[in-house]
């Protein structure tokens, strides 16, 4: 549990003061913490009264993670947490597809999304109708979707994967013909990984991409290698294959954080959204980060004000509402992931 009911402005400031990245999103003063405190206390009280849990993705603004968040993690960890919780309301502070995943796994719970601007480049890249078309075109293929997809898209697919288990899950699928969607970069990374391990599968992929991760180029990596020869470069599998190939470690946001925590390099460069660098600064201030990071506008659209609003007075737009058939079919796709990733 991250949130503590009687948190003071000083305690919050202590946690946030080292974070100086991502412009105004991630710069904190004691005064700013003092100003946020009444709002934070109101959320914490209401959360308890409503038996709610606040799940936060690493990419959301740090004042949310460290003041009202009960759990922070990557998409796989968050979906597991959503499955285990006894709370009757889940406030999912991330992007809509993650809230939908929580609803698929907890159809009887109320799942609330506090952001009004909660798309995701990848999830918005493909529709269920397009998947149905592709399935007609490639009838012998197992359709594998990245968790960054809408519930109706999951409902059309056979197996789901996350950035943390994609290689393991696809390797274990008994069919050698795989159609992977929607992330082209992850599809290409999958092909490269299987080539390295001499795993023979025919992998086709869709052409989606993430605006945050596609920004990083091989030129950035090669330049950083010259400027920071002692730095380890860590990247996310949504990055381009040539970026991943030239990184020291590739993994989900939580795997990246764990790698960094357990590695004694002099410097690190993390090629992902700024939220990960913020967590490193807050939780491992001794680690030396260099280089740049990129902001995800969708994740950063979550605000404390909206968390309070949805707890107080949720509208149907704030609720995740899915029909029974979509939930049942999408759940099967997620359960296959849990089965293959054991
Ligand atoms: P993780 O599951 O690695 O946290 O990734 C989610 C995501 O949206 C990355 O862009
Ligand atoms: Fe979607 Fe990219 Fe943002 Fe992740 S970083 S939520 S993939 S837009």
Average pLDDT over residues 291-303: 91
* Ligand minimally distant from the alpha carbon of residue 94: 2
- Is the residue at 80 inside a domain? yes
Q: Give the model's pLDDT for residue 115.
A: 84
Range of the domain at 190: 123-209
Burial class (CB in 10 A: 0-12, 13-18, 19+), 174: exposed
Same domain, 96 and 160: no
Cis peptide upstream of residue 182 (ω within 30 degrees of 0):
yes
| pLDDT at residue 24, as a whole number | 61
Return the pLDDT at 49: 96
Q: Give the residue, by CA position, lying nearest to ligand 2 atom 2.
A: 210
Q: Which residue has the higher pLDDT, 250 or 291?
A: 250
Q: Is residue 322 part of a domain?
A: no
Domains held by the chain: number: 3
- Count helices and strands in the chain by DSSP H and E runs: 15, 11
Contacts of 236 (CB under 8 A, 6+ apart): 163, 213, 250, 251, 252, 253, 256, 271, 272
Q: Looking at the CA of 161, which ligand is closest?
A: 1
Q: Residues lining ligand 1, CB < 6 A?
A: 58, 74-75, 148, 162-163, 210, 236, 238, 252-253
Q: What pLDDT shows up at residue 2?
A: 62
Instruction: Assess if residue 25 is contained within a domain.
Output: yes
Q: Is the pLDDT assigned to residue 34 strictly greater than 90?
A: yes
| Domain annotation covers residue 307 | yes
The pLDDT of residue 3: 64
Q: Give the pLDDT of residue 1.
A: 47
pLDDT computed for residue 107 by the predictor: 95
Question: Among the listed ranges 14-23, 295-304, 333-342, which one has the minimum average pLDDT value?
Answer: 14-23
Write down which residue in 156, 177, 209 finishes a domain: 209
Both 164 and 221 in one domain: the answer is no
Tell me how far apart the alpha carbons of residues 158 and 196 are, in angstroms, rounded to a whole number.
Answer: 25
Same domain, 61 and 114: yes
Of 6 and 326, which is predicted with more confidence? 326
pTM: 0.95
Across residues 165-186, what is the average pLDDT? 97
Report CA(56)–ligand 1 centroid distance (Å): 12
What pLDDT, on a 0 to 100 scale, did the predictor assign at position 272? 96
Q: Whose CA is nearest to atom 6 of ligand 1?
A: 75
Q: Determine the 3-state secondary structure of 236 from DSSP.
A: coil
Mark 58-85 as b/e (b = at least 16 C-beta within 10 Å): bbbbbbbbbbbbbbbbbbbbbbebbeeb
> 3-class SS at 228?
coil
For residue 297, give the ligand 2 atom closest to its CA: 3
User: Rounded mean pLDDT of 204-209?
Assistant: 97
Q: Are residues 201 and 261 in the same domain?
A: no
pLDDT tens, residue by residue, 102-122? 999 999 999 999 987 778 999
**Which of 121, 145, 146 for a ligand 2 pocket mutation test, highest count of atoms within 8 Å of Cβ?**
121
Atom of ligand 1 nearest to the CA of 73: 4
pLDDT of residue 274: 93
Do 88 and 148 fall within a single domain?
no
Sheet of strand 159-161: strand arrangement = 159-161, 142-146, 177-181, 202-205
- Per-residue pLDDT, averaged over 68-90, amounts to 95
Between CA 39 and CA 224 the distance in angstroms is 41
Q: Are residues 157 and 145 in the same domain?
A: yes
Judged against a pLDDT cut of 70, whether residue 25 lies above it is answered with no
At 260, which CATH number? Answer: 3.40.50.10800
- Do both 95 and 163 map to the same domain? no
pLDDT at residue 118, as a whole number: 73
- Give the residue-averaged pLDDT of 220-245: 96
Res 116: pLDDT? 76
Last residue of a domain, one of 209, 241, 273: 209
Answer yes or no: do 41 and 60 share one domain.
Answer: yes
31: left (phi over 0), alpha (psi -120 to 50) or beta: alpha
**Helix runs in the chain, H state only:** 9-16, 30-49, 62-67, 75-84, 96-105, 128-137, 151-156, 166-172, 184-196, 218-227, 241-245, 253-262, 274-283, 304-312, 324-340
Question: What's the mean per-residue pLDDT of the chain?
Answer: 94
* Burial of 239 (C-beta count, 10 Å sphere; 0-12/13-18/19+): buried
- Is any ligand 2 atom within 6 A of the Cβ of residue 271? no
Check pLDDT > 80 for residue 153. yes
CB 72 within 8 A of CB 56: yes
CA 318 distance to own-chain centroid: 19
Report the distance separating Cα 190 and Cα 195, nearest Å: 9
Query: Which 3 state secondary structure label does DSSP give 179?
Result: strand
Above pLDDT 70, what percent of the chain? 98
CA atoms of 182 and 121, how far apart (whole Å)? 10
Q: Provide the pLDDT for residue 6.
A: 82
């Amino acid at each position: 549990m991250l949130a503590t009911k009687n948190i003071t402005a000083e305690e919050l400031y202590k946690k946030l003061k080292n974070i100086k990245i991502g412009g105004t999103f991630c710069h904190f003063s004691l005064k700013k913490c003092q100003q946020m405190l009444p709002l934070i206390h109101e959320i914490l009280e209401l959360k308890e009264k409503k038996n709610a849990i606040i799940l936060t993705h690493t990419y959301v603004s740090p004042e949310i993670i460290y003041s009202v968040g009960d759990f922070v993690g990557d998409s796989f960890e968050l979906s597991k947490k959503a499955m285990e919780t006894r709370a009757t309301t889940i406030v999912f502070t991330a992007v809509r597809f993650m809230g939908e995943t929580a609803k698929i796994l907890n159809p009887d719970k109320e799942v609330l999304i506090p952001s009004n601007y909660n798309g995701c480049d990848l999830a918005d890249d493909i529709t269920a109708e397009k998947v149905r078309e592709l399935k007609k075109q490639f009838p012998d293929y197992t359709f594998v979707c990245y968790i960054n997809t809408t519930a109706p898209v999951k409902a059309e697919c056979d197996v789901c994967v996350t950035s943390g288990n994609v290689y393991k899950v696809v390797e274990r699928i008994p069919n050698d013909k795989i159609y992977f969607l929607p992330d082209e970069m992850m599809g290409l990374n999958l092909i490269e990984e299987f080539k390295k391990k001499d795993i023979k599968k025919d992998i086709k992929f869709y052409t989606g991409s993430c605006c945050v991760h596609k920004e990083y180029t091989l030129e950035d990596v090669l330049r950083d290698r010259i400027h920071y020869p002692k730095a380890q470069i860590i990247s996310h599998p949504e990055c381009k294959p040539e970026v991943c190939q030239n990184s020291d470690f590739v993994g989900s946001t939580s795997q990246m954080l764990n790698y960094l925590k357990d590695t004694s390099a002099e410097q690190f460069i993390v090629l992902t959204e700024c939220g990960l660098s913020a967590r490193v600064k807050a939780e491992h201030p001794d680690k030396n980060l260099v280089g740049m990071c990129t902001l995800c506008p969708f994740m950063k659209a979550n605000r404390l004000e909206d968390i309070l609003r949805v707890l107080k007075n949720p509208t149907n737009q704030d609720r995740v509402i899915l029909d029974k058939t979509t939930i049942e079919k999408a759940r099967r796709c997620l359960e296959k992931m849990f089965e293959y990733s054991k």
